[in-house]
Amino acid sequence: MKTVLVANRGEIACRVMRSCRSLGLRTVAVYSEADRQSMHVQSADAAVAIGPSSPRESYLNMERLIAAAQASGADAVHPGYGFLSENAEFAQAVLAAGMVWIGPTPQVIRDMGDKQRARELARASGLPILPGSARFPFGELGSLEDAGAQVGYPLLVKAAAGGGGIGMRRVDRSEQLRPMAEATQSMAQNAFGDGAIYLERFIERARHVEVQVFGFGDGNAIHLHERDCSTQRRFQKVIEESPAPLLAQTVRQRMADAATRLCADQRYGGAGTVEFVVDADTHEFFFLEMNTRIQVEHPVTEMNTGRDLVAMQIEHALGTLTAMAQSDIDAQGHAVECRIYAENPLKNFMPSPGRLLRFQLPEPQPGVRIDSGFRGGDEVTHFYDPMIAKVICHGATRDAAIDLALDVLGRIEVEGPHTNLAFLRATLAHPGFREGQVFTGFIDHHKRELTVP
C-alpha cells in the first residue's frame, strides 16, 4: 500500500490524511463542486473532482469514487465516517476493484448495519438486549399495534438500516404509532434504500455509553475503554467524554467485556464501536448497535490512551500492526470533546450556513486538540453537516478537562455564521453537567437555561 484515497470530506478527511502522512503514505482527496477550495483538498497530495455539490451525486456515488481511486493510482480506500463508511456494497466494490478496504469485511458491515440482525448477533454473544419487535418491511405494518403493546410505551420506531440517530422516532401513545411508523419507513426508504423498521423499548432516563473496540480479524479483540455520549439532542451527540462519569467500575468492566466478546465472536477486523443504552437510575445496560467505522468522538479515546486509532486501522489493513493485548492498553486522566456547529441555538439549532469571515483558533497548547476542516474565509454550505470543528481537552481529572474546555471555547473567534459556542460553554458550566448527572434528555430538560441569549 502506497496511496490512500480518502472517500470523505472536511474534518475527518484531514484527520485521516494526518495519520497517512505519519505512516509515509501518499493521500488522494475527492471533492464536489462546493468543496473545490476546501481544506481537505489542499491537504492531500492529489485531488480528484467527483461531481456536483449534492452528496448523492458526489460523496455517495460509488461509481465515481471507485473511478477516482483508479484514476489516481490509489491502492487503498479509507471511508472516514458518514457517507459510505458503513456501506457493505461500497466496501465490496473497493475490494472487487483490486484495492485495500480500510475497514471490516463487507459481511460484518452488512450484519451490523442491519440493526435488527445486529441485535440477534449480540444476543447470541450473551449481551443484554432491550425488548423489541420483529422487522416490519417497507409498506407492511399488519400487526404493528400488537407489537407496540407487547414492547410497551414509550418506545422507539427505528429504521433497520439506520444509524447515528438517523431514522429514530419516539412514540409515547398507541395512537401515534402507525403515523410515526409510516413516516419512518418512508424516510428510511429514501435515505437508506431500505424501508424496514422495528420497535424497541425506550428508557426514559437513559445514558448513551459506548465502548471503543479493535479486532484483529482472527477472533481476538481488545477494548480501549468507554466514552459517555449522553449529552445529545435529537439523538445527535454534542459533547462526549471518557471515562463515563458516575459509572460503577463493575458496570464499566462488564460493558467492556461484553463489547470485546461481540467483536471477537464476529472475527471483527479494525476499529469499531459497540454502543449501549444505560438506565441512569439502575445502571442496567443494553446493547444498542455496533458502528463498523471510526467515530466522530474517537479523539477522546486517543487523548486518554495515547493510541492513534486511524493509524491502527491503516496498519491493520497493511498487515503491519504490532500485536497487542488488553494489558497493553492503559487510559490516563479524562478527556472531553465538544462539537462546534454552524447553527443557531436560539432558533431551535437551525443550521447557519455562510462564509467564515473570521475563524480564529487558539495557539496549540498541552492537553488541547482541535480537529477541523475549515479555515477563515471558507464557506459552510447547506449541502453537508454544519460541524466546523471539534475541541478535545484532556486533564488529570474531569474538572480539569472541563475547565480547560471552557477556556479554549471562550478563546475561539468566529464571525459570519451563528455557532453553538455559547451553548457549549453554558452546558459545560451547568451544575448538573459538572456533577456528572448526564442523560440523553439533559439538553432538552435544561434547554431554557442553556440557550439564554
Catalytic residue positions, numbered: 293
Within 10 angstroms of residue 60's Cβ, the number of other Cβ atoms is 17
Q: How far is CA 94 from the centre of its chain?
A: 22
What Å distances lie between residue 390 and 149, 263, 338, 409, CA to CA? Answer: 42, 28, 6, 10
Helix (H/G/I), strand (E/B), else coil: 245: coil
Q: Which stretches of 75-137 are assigned E, i.e. beta strand?
A: 76-78, 100-101
Determine contact, residues 257/221, Cβ cutoff 8 Å: no
Q: Which among 425, 428, 366, 369 has a CA at the least distance from the CA of 396?
A: 366
Strands 76-78 and 3-6: what pairing?
parallel
Omega before residue 243 within 30° of 0, cis: yes
Helices 106-113/88-96 angle, 10° precision: 170
Q: Which stretches of 1-110 are assigned E, i.e. beta strand?
A: 3-6, 26-31, 46-49, 76-78, 100-101
Sheet containing 76-78: order of strands? 46-49, 26-31, 3-6, 76-78, 100-101
Determine contact, residues 285/252, Cβ cutoff 8 Å: no
What Å distances lie between residue 190 and 109, 162, 167, 334, CA to CA? Answer: 20, 11, 11, 40
The Cα 237–Cα 243 span in angstroms is 16
Determine contact, residues 225/305, Cβ cutoff 8 Å: yes
